[in-house]
Structure 1
């Protein structure tokens, strides 16, 4: 069922999207402010995937690059619409709707800002069900829709079309180089598809789920209940039905560098009492969690670092020494655990030698 989103929904939506972004996807505060600037007192129509007509043209919009850059290089706010219009001109057809490519703080917000600016509806689905660092790591690509042609735009009005046919990895490589030369980030329009292809390849209703998760955390705080119990309950009826608490402790070290268009590094956490330390490796998003040297969670399952008391999600660029945190493991949908999906965004896609195992199995 389709629904209307207003500015009052943005704090809950950005909180839930940041959680699903598993440390990546960009700063949720910046994203919500981009939408507020153009939305005002208006509303955005969010289309259920089942309500998108079969031949509708859906063009997802997003930001790509290193999330660390966004802290100092705030978008002008014009880039995503420019990318959309450039791709529409290249295709010779106007979009009927836009859509996120991933869940994440800013990348759940970019399509909303585009919708508020253009009047387009936003489809309640995405192509990752979380956040991943590379454009080729999409369920769209896994199940037969390719990202090319892609349009990428910068804040100075620069715009480039990249067309690599069905080679999504080459598209990612070229677009990453352009994003670096645009200052570390670029805004993109890609994976143009029909309504039928949305239903076949996308993770459905992730935007409404992010809103419900963010709302569950907030309402639990207001009612003096455990936000972690509320979060587990809210997840239990979704495609992400299993949540495990992996660790409770504090940040004792963060090694982070911006390189090759990504934020890469490791974070180390010490328990509040006696016990083993936890180490998380990340590339924009959290990839692995090792407790005392033993692997306890791995991509594509979600590894989420949140405030130990409030359950507020903490992005990889937001990790700081001394933060008290809980680390949560959340299962991904079955659509993201098939052999085809794991080949695209499982451990081996990140150069890891470990095999995938379900977080709920440990």
Structure 2
């Protein structure tokens, strides 16, 4: 470890990756179309001995030039993660670098408390029945998207609901949410179904929805409403084995942990990138103490699902991983096969993803 800690940062570079979805992803309860892909910034950190690590940029790059010349041990501890606030944008690059230097996968650095494979659901079933504007395709669009993701290897589907928050009159939106949920259950009688309202319901409104789909055997309900103790206490007695998941949007982690200790939440969802790999390492013991499981939010870039799978294999206590159907140009993710709904993690050093051959520029 001392030898690794003494390595000096020689260069920090940045570049852009392009990712794409297999189809245009539509609306959720609050937002319009999510498009067909986008770009994401990455960071590459290189040492004076020629080693490198890379990953998604996890914050502002403004302080990074001042880290060039630093000892790795001043920025990162393999047993903790990032230990210098200025280096937090390098969270993923430094984990990758440490794994490569030690010859171990990232999940080994994290403790290997989970399994090197984890169930993975499709997070891409949005409100596509409502599009295109003026000539909506109806429920068949949702079923077609679920079938396409099944063909891609997924065996669980997270359905966006909450149409009555913005896009339909509330009663019509409620009816359509119920119809879609029941239609997907009929089409896929043995697969997991999760639902996500993005806080698009009131507490009583969601109770009405849930009572109409109780026989659909939902695996979890996510962000049904802006979490309050009163509304969760209203819902909790009705859910049975269905898990209640929350904590994606603007998470107040101490409050979420308190609700979990009271038995009102089952799964916490802080984002794998914006919350951070290092932060997840720090908080997971508190989740175990509160008897609540994890499933880091990964929607957006397909690469985030792979990070979440490494976290699951390393820290354990992850109930499932959010999948983002799609590809990222220029990177080889063949070490992460998705087969029959299970995403496997490679044993190669670091994150097991070769450095992409894209233009890079020094961070200035």
Structure with higher Rg: it is 2
Give the structure with the larger strand fraction.
1
Pair in the same fold by TM > 0.5: no
State the TM-score, normalizing by the size of structure 1: 0.29
State the TM-score, normalizing by the size of structure 2: 0.29
Identify the structure with bigger relative contact order (alpha carbons < 8 Å, sequence gap 6+): 2
